Amino acid sequence: MAQSQTLDTSGPAEARQVASLRAWLLAVAALVFLMVGVGGATRLTGSGLSITEWQPIVGTVPPLSQADWLEAFAKYQQIPQYRHVNRGMSLDAFKAIFWWEWTHRFLGRLIGAVFLLPFLFFLAAGQMPRALLGRLSGIFALGAVQGLIGWYMVRSGLADRIDVSQYRLALHLGLAIAIFGALVWVALSLEAPERRPAAARPARIGGAVAIVQLVFVQILLGAFVAGLKAGASYNTWPLMDGRLVPDGLGAMEPWYLNLFENALTVQFNHRLVAYALVLATLWHVWTLRGTRDSRVRLTTAALAAAMLTQAALGIATLLGQVPLALGLAHQAGAAAVFGLAVWHLYALRHPHPETRPAT
């Protein structure tokens, strides 16, 4: 059996080994990022229910003949979305939504292969650190679970609904973002061991942790906004339905259903958390003024710029009633902000070796 050991970057060969591992993990993270974007496209184009079966192996091959296309279309015509939303759709129009969903599923399979095959290679070559083995096995397991959750989400829209459950959508997106963040963190951890002990004050690290957590919560809230199509209404800003605090936030009983099923409340909460995130990020930037660590300065500036850009994208998407291009940019922006927040937290916890105490 191949031996797994802790990486030593003291020599050129070991440094190349670390660089290969990091490049591989960042490539997988980039594919997951792309997957999140394509997932947004399937949602915005109403494509997610166009493939009504889950065939992990056979489904890799798309329809290749006219008969195959007609068979796939006939299966789609049996579900409520076709009967109540897309009745009369042409075969060409069906192909357009089919390719979005097929691409989304194909990317999932590709990510699995791009992760597993190099993992087995590094393991067989004895280049997989023991500490990394458990982490990467856990990430791979989460990826497998994600495939199951994706089908669990699709199934919710095949019988009694014309779209997927917002609860399952939030679960699916949330797990994708968690996997993305884990890949980024593990890739960043593959660096020279001569790092100085964490020098940032606990309050600063705590602020970075809070931003990562709040961005994740905001992404989940965005999934509920998307699942309820809440962005297609109340398309004014900064007022909402003509008021700062609109009527009807607690119209449902019991009260907690408003948090997940009342489109007005869900969009209102998404707005509030966006304001909180912008303010928290600006305050955090202020607390880090004057830092001497170049990596912390870089990640702080990148995070602040991305957060403000994402807020502006959110407003533009809302005012435009969620056009496809802005909707995709907003979802991709959310994943980018989360990745930058993770990078910034890592930079604070592991100051750059070039940083030296002030004289």
pLDDT in tens, the chain (359 residues): 344 344 555 566 677 888 899 999 999 999 999 999 999 999 999 999 999 999 888 788 999 999 999 999 999 999 999 999 999 999 999 999 999 999 999 999 999 999 999 999 999 998 888 889 999 999 999 999 999 999 999 999 998 899 999 999 999 999 999 999 999 999 999 875 544 444 555 658 899 999 999 999 999 999 999 999 999 999 999 999 899 999 999 999 999 999 999 999 999 999 999 999 999 999 999 999 888 888 999 999 999 999 999 999 999 999 999 999 999 999 999 999 999 999 999 999 987 655 544 43
| Amino acid 201: pLDDT | 59
| Amino acid 2: pLDDT | 40
Q: How many CB atoms neighbour CB 198 within 10 A?
A: 13
| Amino acid 309: pLDDT | 97
| Amino acid 14: pLDDT | 72
Q: How far apart are CA 283 and CA 275, in angstroms?
A: 12
* Contact (Cβ atoms closer than 8 angstroms) between residue 194 and residue 7: no
**The one-letter amino acid at 277:** L
Q: Are residues 249 and 266 in the same domain?
A: yes
In-domain check, residue 301: yes
In-domain check, residue 6: no
Q: What is the DSSP letter of 358?
A: -
Range of the domain at 340: 195-359
If you compute the radius of gyration of the chain from its CA atoms, what whole number of angstroms results?
Answer: 23
Q: Does the predicted model carry a pTM greater than 0.85?
A: yes
Q: Are residues 210 and 149 in the same domain?
A: no
Decide which of 157, 175, 191 is a domain's last residue: 191
Q: How far apart are CA 79 and CA 141, in angstroms?
A: 31
Q: Are residues 343 and 206 in the same domain?
A: yes
In-domain check, residue 249: yes
Q: Are residues 330 and 233 in the same domain?
A: yes
Dihedral sign, Cα of residue 61, residue 63, residue 68, residue 71: positive
Q: How far apart are CA 250 and CA 137, in angstroms?
A: 44
| Amino acid 156: pLDDT | 94
Q: Are residues 163 and 254 in the same domain?
A: no
Q: Are residues 218 and 336 in the same domain?
A: yes
Decide which of 156, 191, 226 is a domain's last residue: 191
| Amino acid 203: pLDDT | 59
The number of C-alpha atoms within 13 Å of 349 and in the hemisphere containing its C-beta is 13
| Amino acid 257: pLDDT | 97
* Tokens (6 digits) for 236: 């004014």
Q: How far apart are CA 77 and CA 111, in angstroms?
A: 30
Q: Is 328 helix (H, G, I), strand (E, B) or coil?
A: helix
Torsion of CA 219, 221, 226, 227, to 10 degrees: 120
Residue 246: cis peptide before it, omega within 30 degrees of 0: no
In-domain check, residue 42: yes
Q: Are residues 256 and 310 in the same domain?
A: yes
Burial letters 266-284, b for 16+ CB under 10 A, else e? bbbbbbebbeebeebbeeb
Q: Are residues 218 and 348 in the same domain?
A: yes
Q: Are residues 45 and 131 in the same domain?
A: yes
Q: Are residues 199 and 184 in the same domain?
A: no
In-domain check, residue 67: yes
Q: What is the DSSP letter of 320?
A: T
Backbone angles phi, psi at 240, to 5 degrees: -125, 115
In-domain check, residue 62: yes
Q: Are residues 144 and 247 in the same domain?
A: no
Decide which of 135, 161, 191 is a domain's last residue: 191
In-domain check, residue 2: no
In-domain check, residue 4: no
Q: How far apart are CA 227 and CA 222, in angstroms?
A: 8
How many domains, in total, are found in the chain? 2
Q: How far apart are CA 304 and CA 138, in angstroms?
A: 31
Q: Are residues 237 and 146 in the same domain?
A: no
